[in-house]
A and B are shown apart, each in its own frame.
Chain A
Amino acid sequence: MANISHTNESASSNLMARALREAFYAGLVAIGLFVLFVGLKTDQNILNELVLVQRWGLLAVFVAIAMVGRFLSVAYIRPWLDARKAAKAAAPTVEREAGFVARNFSLLALIALVVYPPVMVALFGFQGSLKWVDNFGIQILIYVMLAWGLNIVVGLAGLLDLGYVAFYAVGAYSYALLSSYFGLSFWLLLPMAGILAALWGTILGFPVLRLKGDYLAIVTLAFGEIIRLVLINWTAVTKGTFGISGIAKASVFGIWSFDVSASNNFAKAFGLPMSSAYYKIFLFYLALALCMLAAFVTIRLRRMPIGRAWEALREDEIACRSLGINTVTTKLTAFATGAMFGGIAGSFFAVRQGFVSPESFVFLESAIILAIVVLGGMGSLVGIAIAATVMIGGTELLREMDFLKQIFGPDFTPELYRMLIFGLAMIVVMVWKPRGFVGSREPTAFLRERKSVSGSFTKEGHG
């Protein structure tokens, strides 16, 4: 007994010594990493010359954080994780019956979304609800729609597309240009934008079908950039970087308008006080409806031969061909369907902003959408919706953190850290859950019972 406690003691003192040593090294590395970038800051003086500002205090803070973090990680967190892993391995977890919330998650989430605008209005008033309905609600829904579209290409068909934002741009500009040049209505242009984007998906998809993996990725990235650069440089039509503004608003199926001057104005028709909140709430429900449509189509498609062929393509392209599946048309339909959702989301984006410019369609957007798909768990609609909410909603929340100014001083602008945190969150989530939030796959047909397929069996595609 005494012996054991003795060895335990020496082990723990060894651990402490090791943790201290590791913390010391971490401190040295942190000094190396941050001495130039944090310890010094390049600033311009009145003569517009660069001068260095010294910030050794801040450097010390960074180094201290690194040391303490490393110490805690080695001394406490790692042993704790190991112990937990060992405990888990020793006692295999009994499959727990999924709780009420888990079983009905989709339905509950849908109900929550439907009551979301009225609740926000009740809480913050019409004007106050704008921010919550628009910046959070609509924006997240747009990303959900985009990510569900990209999911068909990446998650189901296993084709890595880094230029998805191109179709978003095609949709947005289709609406912006056709409505401002020809005055066509939103309800006509919404499906048209989808069709045009699908057409572009087919056109761009055709030459790249022979390419695999990272080659496909770079060519799709190149196409995305080409479309953006054309939008910037073809000033005669697109007005270049100035963008197109004053895009017509959507109407409620042509019955009520949201233009203040129109005689069939929504608020006037119902004798309500004027507010821009109605339009936003209308757009929120519209976005929700479009998302539901996308989800419905995706769920249906997965049970169609084409959807199964997409997934089979992701698993093994050669086997697909040996079974008589024309992989060229299968890939093209995946590209076109994904692009169509992108186009619809794009035209919705244009109508919501009332303004489009190439600035909105940079590579970063493609990266964010792809990240949402992968973080959510490829192929899983629920996982992707959760990822979009966490990543977009989470970073959007930073804009609201004014109280941080009281802690860090009035110069502190939390928005600056938005993308930094977004990037770090991507890394952390991937390292923590490489297969995303929902790693398992729901089978599309079953004989006796529907068992979800563990992520370790599904492949990620090589196309």
Chain B
Amino acid sequence: MEYFVQQLVNGLTLGSIYGLIAIGYTMVYGIIGMVNFAHGDIFMLGGFAALIVYLILVGLFGGIPIALALFIMIIVAMLMTGLWNWVIEKMAYRPLRGSFRLAPLITAIGMSIALSNFIQVTQGPRNKPVPPLVSSVYDIFGISVSLKQIIIVVVTAVLLTIFWYIVNHTPLGRAQRATEQDRKMAALLGIDVDKTISITFVMGAALAAVAGTMYLMYYGVIVFTDGFTPGVKAFTAAVLGGIGSLPGAVLGGLMIGLIESLWSAYFTIDYKDVATFSILAIVLIFKPSGILGRPEVEKV
């Protein structure tokens, strides 16, 4: 039982990270119907930004309190990836808006290749290890919960609340939802569609940056190829939850985190990704629009 709960805690942590990335996929998909394949690499970029900021902070003020350091890392990483995604959207995706459906997808795949190789070229191809930032572990009813895990889950929960509030209760959120429903009509009603889409990209990137920082803190290492696997899994999470649905993305992320940790704990770690992808395929075969997605009615 304790072992099981322990795995739940691990799964929840991992799931939070996937959920944060998945929101970026789902929002962009919701608003412009595009699979932003480069989103995983934006996440990786966020991790690298956090790493470099950490090294700067340690270099400048050796004994900086870790909470403050983490806070600064998250903020800078969010700004940095937000700026990147803003520029990427403007230069690579905007010219293709409304064109052929596969063109933006291919552009995004190209962007993904370019971003990871940009980091490889500028930062080098090797693993980048950092000393453990947070190492305390608590024992709660026989289950060991590390401070890292608590931070990840709490930060995710806080961000999701803020985010949920923005989307549902602010003029910006209303503009986003309107653009999602009908871009042309939204424009006619005076919504700056370009700006709304830009902000959506920036918001998605900011959440991915937080995920990147958390990932760096949790695993203590990052490398330029790290965007791909978490990216694909987060995309899987978004689709599993029902792409376009925000709660779906979080739910999908948590599910994938749980499947992964439980499978590794009870079966074999080798096939954990096979399990994740198989469950995705099975869910979609029986419920093609994902768990919380609105079923697409075939209009004849």
Contacts and interface: CB of A to CB of B under 8 A. Distances in A.
A223 B277 CA distance: 7
Contact of B80 (A36, A160, A318): A36
A450 interface: no
B107 A427 contact: yes
Contacts of B99: 434
B266 to A, nearest CB: 17
6 contacts: A33-B84, A41-B123, A51-B55, A217-B35, A420-B121, A427-B92
Interface string A351-378: 0000000000001100100110011001
Contacts of A38: 122
B274 A226 contact: yes
B52 A225 contact: no
Interface in A131-179: 154, 160
A425 interface: yes
A405 to B, nearest CB: 16
The 8 lowest CB-CB distance pairs between A and B, nearest first, are A426-B110, A423-B114, A423-B113, A222-B277, A420-B117, A434-B103, A233-B270, A427-B110
A436 B106 CA distance: 11
Interface in A227-244: 229-230, 232-233
A1 to B, nearest CB: 39
Interface residues of B, number: 70
A188 to B, nearest CB: 31
Interface in B112-127: 112-115, 117-124, 126
A221 B232 CA distance: 9
A40 B274 contact: no
* Most chain B CB atoms below 10 A, which of A207, A215, A219, A222: A222
A44 B53 CA distance: 16
B121 A218 contact: no
B49 to A, nearest CB: 6
Interface string A39-74: 011111000111110000000000000000000000
Contact of B112 (A43, A213, A378, A423): A423
A442 interface: no
Contacts of A417: 117, 121
A456 to B, nearest CB: 10
Given A214-B35, A424-B114, A29 B100 contact: no
B237 to A, nearest CB: 10
Contact of A420 (B92, B114, B236, B300): B114
Given A37-B119, A225-B277, A426 B128 contact: no
Contact of A207 (B48, B111, B113, B281): B281
B106 A218 contact: no
Given A52-B52, A154-B102, A222-B236, 6 more contacts: A33-B84, A49-B131, A51-B55, A215-B290, A427-B92, A460-B102
A423 B288 CA distance: 32
Contacts of A416: 120-121
B110 A424 contact: yes
B239 A223 contact: no
A4 B281 CA distance: 67
Contacts of B101: 213, 460
Interface of A: 29, 32-33, 36-38, 40-44, 48-52, 154, 160, 207-208, 210-215, 217-219, 221-223, 225-226, 229-230, 232-233, 318, 363-364, 367, 370-371, 374-375, 378, 416-417, 419-420, 422-427, 430-431, 434-435, 460
Contacts of A154: 102
B43 interface: no
Contacts of A52: 52, 55-56, 59
A229 B113 contact: no
Contacts of B130: 50
Given A221-B232, A222-B236, A230-B274, A423 B117 contact: yes
A42 B223 CA distance: 11
B164 interface: no
A265 to B, nearest CB: 42
A37 B44 CA distance: 12
B96 A160 contact: no
A363 B228 CA distance: 9
B226 to A, nearest CB: 14
Contacts of A370: 106, 109
B29 interface: yes
A33 B83 contact: yes
B131 to A, nearest CB: 8
* Most chain A CB atoms below 10 A, which of B114, B124, B236: B114
Given A52-B59, A370-B106, A430 B284 contact: no
Contact of B107 (A49, A217, A426): A426
Contacts of A230: 274
B285 interface: yes
Nearest to A26: B87
Contacts of B232: 221, 225, 363
B182 interface: no
Nearest to B37: A367
Nearest to A455: B100
A88 B79 CA distance: 43
A153 to B, nearest CB: 13
A48 B126 CA distance: 12
A431 B111 contact: no
B268 to A, nearest CB: 8
